[in-house]
């Protein structure tokens, strides 16, 4: 199994500072159990998994895991994942917005 993972430092402009985050760019077809195992292996406070959107108006769906459990929402993983998606060119032009169901949508 090969997955692209980006490690980012959130809330800082300096490398090796801020809040670390692992972003798994292609979480499609990963079981919840495997996502949890990957999050435990990364051992950061959170690891996010980018999935295909459930709503075609959204760019992606995001799931957030700590080394011990899944979280419905958390600030630095949301911001860090948004930055990675934008930096990787995975979000349509026009910006980002977040929905309460962990999906990224194009802003108006």
Catalytic residues: 46
* Phi–psi pair at 34, nearest 5 degrees: -70, -40
For residue 37, how far is the Cα from the chain centroid?
16
Q: How many residues does the chain have?
A: 108
* Cα→Cα distances 46→56, 58, 84, 93, Å: 26, 22, 15, 27
CA distance 14 to 101: 31
């Amino acid at each position: 199994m090969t997955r692209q993972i980006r490690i980012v430092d959130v809330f800082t402009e300096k490398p090796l500072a801020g809040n670390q985050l692992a972003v798994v760019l292609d979480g499609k077809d990963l079981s919840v159990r495997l996502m949890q195992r990957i999050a435990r292996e990364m051992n950061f406070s959170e690891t996010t998994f980018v999935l295909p959107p459930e709503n075609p108006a959204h760019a992606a769906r995001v799931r957030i895991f700590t080394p011990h459990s899944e979280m419905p929402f958390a600030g630095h993983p949301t911001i860090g994942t948004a930055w990675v998606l934008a930096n990787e060119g995975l979000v349509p032009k026009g910006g980002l917005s977040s929905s309460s169901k962990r999906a990224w949508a194009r802003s108006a």
